[in-house]
Amino acid sequence: MVKRVTKVLLAVLVIASLTVTLTGCGSSDNSNEEVTYKDGTYIGESEKREFGYEEAEVTIEGGKITNIVLKRMTPDGEEVDYDEWTGEGDRPNLKQFRVDLAEEMIEKQSYEVDAIATATETSEGWKEAVKNSLEQAK
């Protein structure tokens, strides 16, 4: 009988300890908070690299992201020819990826979306450019 009571008390203490510990591990992440932006059109850029950079033109209406135009730029600041980036050879399909990524960002009202696996560096650059645009809109 004493062993049984000891086991029950031990179980209760373990459960109480886990409850306290796991409650402390709760996330205080406020990423689901809705952000309202100032209306307008904002242009942001990613970090410039050897082979160019990404640019984003973000339009805000009614405090919400309503349009995003993503561009891949050459080191000279010229927009690339997307007809040369259609997924053939060793070039990813930037022509379609930029549309898909922009639509996902508008839908989620955030630049925090998954990068496109076959165009990770460019995707991350576009996300950075949108983030920089949205910083201007705060």
Residue 61's CATH number: 3.90.1010.20
pLDDT score for 36? 83
Q: Which domain holds residue 59?
A: 40-137
Query: Would you state the structure tokens that stand for residue 47, as one six-digit string?
Result: 């970090």
pLDDT score for 2? 60
> Does 32 map to a domain?
no
> Model pTM?
0.74
> Does 85 map to a domain?
yes
Which amino acid is present at 81?
A: D
pLDDT score for 99? 96
- Does residue 110 contact residue 127 with C-beta atoms inside 8 Å? no
CA distance 135 to 120: 22
> Does 52 map to a domain?
yes
Number of domains in the chain: 1
> Does 53 map to a domain?
yes
pLDDT tens per residue across span 73-122: 999 999 999 999 999 888 899 999 999 999 999 999 999 999 988 899 99
